[in-house]
Amino acid sequence: MLTTDRQPFDTGYQYIFQRDELQAIKACHDAHGFAVVRDVISPDDVAALKADVDASLNPKGDLGAGETRYDTVFVENAPAMLRLLENDAFMAIARTVVDPDPVVNRSAAILKNVGAKAGGWHSDFDFKAAAPDASMNGGEWPNGLWFYLTGSHPDAGGLAVIENSHRPDWPGPEGYTLRDDRKWFEPADGDWSGIDPLTDIPGTVPLICNPTDLVIFAARTYHAPNAHQGTQPRYSVALVMRPRMKMNIDWPLRDSAKRLLAALPPHLAPYFEHYTSLREPT
């Protein structure tokens, strides 16, 4: 865990900030595609969010060795997520980095057990989107407002990002070729032999942070989780926000979204204007 304000990885620039350094957070996000903000939520918030993750993804306590589970509409199943919208520090950051008038775009939770393999490098951005309102991931707002509720560390399934990979003209790491409309990349010769897919990629920044810290990454930033060699399941949650705009989507609200919207207190309802949830799986 990160126990001091010293950055654990030398990038030549500051990327870990205190929560009141709003303009510096935005400048780092805009320039390098990511930032870490210390102590945005409380230990009580961490505990409540972990309990909601368990209720959603592991209610029977049967998460298998090496298994990863996802909830891609987590805010609809997690009362503690609404605390973020009442958190002055979180909302000040969202208004600075996302938009002065943000609304909830999407949410997620990931529960990753010890033994889970490393994930591949990818961008969440929808490079095929015809316009920002045509896709949940098609705008310039950050695709990552994440909390790693058991901390982020390279040895325990923590996140890594590639600095500066958020730029629209980023050509990919030197010696690698972007594939599938820029969603991922591979060595130019297609041969990964002898290459560590995380540590050997130029520009990689492994993120080490505490459960109360906020991890931000930009719309296009390439990122990947390390293999989980820790001692306890890794919990992470995200509340991704966007500018107040109506999305051009064609799916009906799922029942869990309808329940959420019906139960919202009046002071939080404006943050869910034009809320779409995600398409119900078939």
Position 249 scores a pLDDT of: 87
- Mean pLDDT value of segment 182-189: 90
Position 58 scores a pLDDT of: 98
Tell me the C-alpha distance between 78 and 95, whole Å. Answer: 23
Q: Are 161 and 205 in contact (CB under 8 A)?
A: yes
Q: How confident is the model at residue 6 (pLDDT cuts 50, 70, 90)?
A: low
- Mean pLDDT value of segment 198-219: 94
Position 3 pLDDT exceeds 50: no
Span 37-77, pLDDT tens digits: 999 999 999 999 999 999 999 999 999 999 999 999 999 99
Position 262 pLDDT exceeds 70: yes
Position 222 pLDDT exceeds 50: yes
Tell me the C-alpha distance between 214 and 76, whole Å. Answer: 21
Give how far Cα 250 sits from Cα of 43, 52, 213, 244, 262, Å. Answer: 39, 29, 36, 18, 21
Closest CA to 219 of 140, 117, 131: 140
Closest CA to 110 of 60, 63, 155, 154: 63
Q: Are 222 and 123 in contact (CB under 8 A)?
A: yes
- Percent residues over pLDDT 70 in the chain: 98
Position 41 scores a pLDDT of: 98
Give how far Cα 61 sits from Cα of 36, 45, 55, 73, 80, Å. Answer: 31, 21, 9, 21, 20
Closest CA to 212 of 155, 139, 141, 152: 152
Which pTM value belongs to this model?
A: 0.94
Closest CA to 205 of 272, 152, 249: 152
Position 4 scores a pLDDT of: 45
Position 2 pLDDT exceeds 50: no
Torsion of CA 219, 244, 104, 161, to 10 degrees: 10
Span 115-166, pLDDT tens digits: 999 998 999 999 988 888 888 999 999 998 999 999 999 999 999 999 999 9
Q: What is the mean pLDDT of the chain?
A: 94
